[in-house]
Structure 1
Amino acid sequence: MQNINSITELSNAIKLLEIEQLNKKLLLKDQLRNVHESLRPINIIKSTINDITTSPYLLDNILATGIGLVTGYFSNKIFVGSSGNLQKKLLGSILQFGVTNVIAQNPDAIKSLSRIIFHMIFKKRNND
């Protein structure tokens, strides 16, 4: 800042500082409104849903985990059935846990394997 030598320069400097202060005050109010708006629960939910739907990795992870859970559940039901045997139920739960983890952690390998099986089935049908 430069040296002020007269009353006029002092008045001008004060006016410039007041204008700068007013601009900063308006910017601060605007930012406060934006923060308040973004912290409303509905906007937090909207933002979270938007992040989930726009993130391909998160959507793939959710899909792979869901497929793993469903496959694990069905493998448990197929293995255990309506058996009342406690050991068979325990082994079914272990099988469910293992299948769920394998499928959830290796979705690309599972997709490739399912495509190969799919092509093999329909290739046989087309040849018949």
Structure 2
Amino acid sequence: MKKINQSELLDQMILELREKRDSELIDLKNQYQQFVLSAKPSNIIKQSISEVYNSSIDKETIINAFTGFIGGYISKKLFVGKSDNSFKEVLGNVLQYSISTLINKFYEKK
């Protein structure tokens, strides 16, 4: 009679472990879906913008830095284009840095 109880107990424990495994698998799938959604570039950008908007950092400083970066990037693309010439690439990087710095200095004077 003791073997029957042990067998039933073992069956019950196996059933509980399977239910626990199934529950944890569902939780893991949900966490994976949340990760996939949060890892999308559009969601990362939205989250970054909302963090900047809600932060105590001076928003004007961030906008000025971003404007300087974009100005330098555009000037580099206009000058270098899709060139494979390494000298032009280096010169384009120097131009990008110079234009970015110039734009940032212009905003600092205001």
What TM-score results when the alignment is normalised by the length of structure 2? Answer: 0.51
Note if contact 1:53-1:59 (Cα within 8 Å) is conserved in structure 2: yes
Which portions of structure 1, spanning 4 or more consecutive aligned residues, are displaced by more than 3 angstroms?
Answer: none
Cα distance in 2 between the residues matched to 1:30 and 1:58? 37
Distance 1:51-1:58 versus aligned 2 partners, 3 A rule:
farther
RMSD between superposed Cα atoms in Å: 3.1
How far off is 1:61 after superposition? 3.6
1:22 is aligned to 22
Structure index of larger Rg: 1
Cα distance in 1 between the residues matched to 2:6 and 2:26? 30
Distance 1:6-1:52 versus aligned 2 partners, 3 A rule:
same
Q: Which amino acid aligns with 2:17?
A: L
Cα distance in 2 between the residues matched to 1:47 and 1:41? 10
Structure 1: any 5+ residue segments left out of the alignment? 70-95, 105-128
Cα distance in 1 between the residues matched to 2:17 and 2:58? 49
1:40 equivalent to 2:40? Answer yes
Q: Which amino acid aligns with 2:38?
A: S
How far off is 1:58 after superposition? 4.7
Structure 2: any 5+ residue segments left out of the alignment? 69-100
Q: Which amino acid aligns with 2:41?
A: P
Cα distance in 2 between the residues matched to 1:12 and 1:58? 61
Q: Which amino acid aligns with 2:26?
A: L
How far off is 1:60 after superposition? 5.4
Task: Show the 5 A alignment for 1:101-112.
Answer: 103=108
Q: Which amino acid aligns with 1:6?
A: Q
Give aligned-pair identity as a percent.
24
What TM-score results when the alignment is normalised by the length of structure 1? Answer: 0.45
Q: Which amino acid aligns with 2:45?
A: I
